[in-house]
A and B are shown apart, each in its own frame.
Chain A
Amino acid sequence: MTYRLPSLRLETQFDLPRLPLRPGEAATGARPHALRALEGAARGPHVLARLQRSESLLVLDVAPFDEPLALTVVLLADQLSDDTWQRADDAARDPATPRPTAPRTAWVRGARVVALSVSGRLAAAGVLQRATAGHTCTQRLTTVVQPSDLDPEGTLSLTLSELSTAPAWLSGRVEHPLAGVAVARVRLGAAAHVPGPTISCGREAAGGRALVPRSVGGLVVNPATTHPPTLALAPRTSLPRPPLDGDVGTGRRLREVVASARDRAVRHATGVPQELPLEVTTLVDGRRHLVRIVVDDDGWNRLMLDTRGGPVACRPLPEGAAARLPGTGDWWAEVS
């Protein structure tokens, strides 16, 4: 039994009122009442928390529930989080003489993976690309929380941390995987909604399909349910380019024509590979194995993943011309 100090009085008259998170509700920067404790991160007006330390803990007040619920954590990599990380780091390095100097940007190159644990259990992992000026990277991590995931106090503890078992290609070149990352919001799904598996690859999925960029090289599949998910991969150049959205200018249309022609040339040069080697890493323990997926008639490579141990990282390893030509290395990915 955790020792409790009888005289403890942390509350003040000015603390936020306690409003437990209920199914269908989200904790956000503007509505942070459910966030009861925050460690290793700073609250923000527009995000729930900007991460500042190598491990961040969010303790959420959740209304009691007795059946599994979907939990979605929206991660965000943006410039302000970079700066926040850097300022916190500067203060820790030189505690005696903190200086209000302009922060430098946190050092991030390539993609990195951030682990999300629920009550100590690795529940999901998110792949985030570096935020550049004016651009952000958003990833939604969905998992299922059970009543047994609640702390003895009835709260839900979410930990964001580095993933030591991540394969090298997902480790990026970063000060720390959490540098420049914020938790934008945490949403508790409605009780009736059972989420399916999701993909995280540094880009947001549209219509259930995500584009895995060559710069990342792979993706993470977050299972969300015990049902084994099926991952489908296809070279980007093997499928028609999606139509341009909205009112785009002539220059953009011309570039699109050139890109379509280039894709056709790549398709012609590579043909349709009959097998795709895929490196699969179980992120809970870092176990790694190589599988070869046979292509289906529709040009997609499909594989049923064993996600009983939690999220897995997958990295296509194309061979021959498919690995060399410009425009190759980007993949369409779907999971079901």
Chain B
Amino acid sequence: MSAPWHGHPRGQLAPRLALACGLLSMVASLHCAAADISLQQLMQQLAARRHAHASFVERKSLAVLKRTLESSGELIYEAPDRLLKRTLKPKAETLQLENGMLSAQRGARTYRMALRDSPDMAPFIDTIRATLAGEMPTLQRTYELEFRSTGGNWTLLMVPREPQLARVFARIRIDGAGDLLREVIIDTADGDRSVMTIRDIVDP
């Protein structure tokens, strides 16, 4: 009974717990529920957006390399399940997610795979897509979510639930303002880091 808002009401206790929850929610909302509601609000705001077009700059710091790798290009999103990441520098190539299929095009070659067959790829593209689509259930299934917001700015911290994914990725952090994403930071389990800065392009 010490923290009824964490537990699930069960058996005979259920009515009483529900009542207690109701009473306590007024207090509790000052802490976690405030975040809950605004994460939901954020997700609703994001889901309302059907189309997004942004430029990005990605910086990767890898242990195997002596310097940071920088690439840039654009992101195009069509609700709810198409996301295109087109890299223009240093080499033109695209990564596209459509209907659960991933296709990566490099030069004359195209590699295709189903997203469900390569869960390792999810943090790079599907997580961004699910965030843009406001698909909270998808995110909650894959990650433990932690949400903070101050004023119009927010931070969504995601830690993989699956041990298989956790072996590769430590955490993903998305910073944003309103219904815009500003930065995606991916930390791998071996200490490498990728930072993607996003700037919205307003289509005419």
Are the chains A and B members of one assembly? no
| Contact surface of A with B, Cβ cutoff 8 Å | none
